[in-house]
Structure 1
């Protein structure tokens, strides 16, 4: 009798734990998206070969006027054909100069001097460019420098219907029910060790959260940089824990969050 009671208790505990895991995450504990900004050539030469060797897919945010796009169009096309997401990072990567430490902003592409119609046109032109590369119509967006407004105007609101979601730069991980798909938080990486990045994944697993990594340089080419061996420790850990972690392009994670949040709860609300 004691064995039966113990077995029954274990069944109820396991069932309760399974019920807590979002169905949209394929029954796994958390969702992780690996995102890479600015169309750097190290993404093509160093990151994508590692991801491909492990069967993992990343999201690469391209600004159409950047050298890494103009010089490597065919390589980005191949990356998309292998299942990596190409996201919209605007045409000229405009950032506002009206924040501390922004003296480097090119006056020609100072977001604070933009009009809303100008940024809307440039974002939509970038969607056209990306569609010519990968043939896709569904897309996600990443705010250059994390700047979301021109003056007091939320410019993404003007193009929100053109996108599945937008990735921001707020350092946070949240459960699906808490996520604002117009500004999804992300952990920007700069000098972190593999162990520090793995600790974030473990926290996401414990809290059933969505964790978005934001990389620039990986092994060089940007002043915001993570050493390639440290990056590779992270992705190898993710591969080793695929049974517990859903690793997917940002667009897939966002679509899953949207579907999960669209479902009525048990009270019918």
Structure 2
């Protein structure tokens, strides 16, 4: 029975990291920066005016929808998908602060009445409804009103953690700067309003994105010839599309497509040489090292976007996470992994500050499903560390690792 040994270690990792400000993000095909167009609320005007205009230019946009709003025009929304547009999740009840008078009316529900659990339930339900109606499961989310806080007073908290769990991105509204692909939290990317303005008003933001290699995410609502409130003017859209057509250095694509590319590049140490962003604990002190927050080094390993996991390991591949621990802590180690049914489990060797142990990653749940289990404990001293995992056996073709979670041990 063959065994594959992995090493998980907290040590200084000998990669010549660039200092902050020295690194440059690599956009595809020599592009200098990215632009995405997005619309909220599944308003009928985008079907009548916006999508036909975008289709003429071959521009794909992201539409954040409410399931009950798209049922009456399913054929048109399905046609939009077929034309290369993306469908995102915008909740079912459009929750915003109850400070807005209209949110206190049926069928709305104020953010102050939500818990993290009820918000997660609504987002999952909305995803299921969209999948049933359109046959796609959204990877992109837009915060209604751009607001991310639920609850009241001392009980108020962000639900960005829920969005990070369920989606690749969460987009804001009425923000002030483009997205920095190297440093952004994809659960809270900025959304710049394109409603009620002429194209010339957005040019300074486009130029900033060009100069710094950023990602400009534009957000609107209605789109039509009339200059009504919360409306992206058709002239604005046409001028923007003409501008992009004349400037080959711009990559214009839906939010989910750009975000997936950003996520893949940020996990690839062959492309980036800045230090991985440090991961800190949540309110319970748990440190969730998702694959998307790690950095892979080596000849073959890759981040598999549709599984949100690292795969294609060889004995020359490694993955590194940066972790920040406030006080010396003993953690339970949870690993989420998948391995082919016909293969035996994988041994892993854990080393932290001289502490060694060998634990077994057994078979996963079969049929490519992931298994999550506690595989051991580890004590980490206070400070910032690099956490590295690497195989010592070359035959790891079927193994994928989605996350390592460090949970403070009680008692």
What's the TM-score once normalised by structure 1's chain length? Answer: 0.83
Residue 226 (structure 1) shift: 2.8
The answer to whether the 8 Å contact 1:93/1:109 transfers is yes
Cα distance in 2, alignment partners of residues 75 and 139 from structure 1: 21
Q: CA deviation at 1:218?
A: 1.5
Give matches, 1:43-192, under 5 Å: 43-66=46-69, 69-98=70-99, 102-107=100-105, 108-151=108-151, 152-169=156-173, 170-192=175-197
In 1, the alpha carbon distance for the partners of 2:128 and 2:274 equals 43
1:253 is aligned to 258
Whether contact under 8 Å (1:64, 1:92) holds in the other structure is no
Structure 1 outlier segments of 4+, above 6 Å: none
Aligned positions, number = 245
| Structure 2 unpaired stretches of 5+ | 1-21, 277-411
Q: Deviation string for 1:5-56 (max 9, x for gaps)?
A: xxxxxxxxxxxxxx97633433201010100111011111111111111111
Return the alpha-carbon distance in structure 2 between the equivalents of residues 171 and 73 of structure 1: 34
Structure with a larger share of its residues in helix: 1
CA deviation map 1:179-205 (0-9, x unaligned) = 110100011123211222234223211
In structure 2, the CA distance between the partners of 1:138 and 1:95, relative to structure 1 (3 Å rule), is: closer
Q: Which runs of 5+ in 1 are unaligned?
A: 1-18
Greater relative contact order (Cα < 8 A, sep 6+): 1
CA RMSD of aligned residues (A): 2.2
- Residue 36 of structure 1 corresponds to 39
> What secondary structure, in the 3-state scheme, does the structure 2 residue paired with 1:32 have?
strand
C-alpha offsets along residues 120-166 of structure 1, whole Å, 9 cap, x if unaligned?
22111111122223323351110001111212222231352221111
Partner of 2:209: 204
Structure with more strand by fraction? 2
- If the length of structure 2 is used for normalisation, what is the TM-score? 0.56
Q: Which has the larger radius of gyration?
A: 2
Instruction: Indicate if the aligned counterparts of 2:86 and 2:254 stay in contact, CA closer than 8 A.
Output: yes
Distance 1:164 1:156 in 2: 11
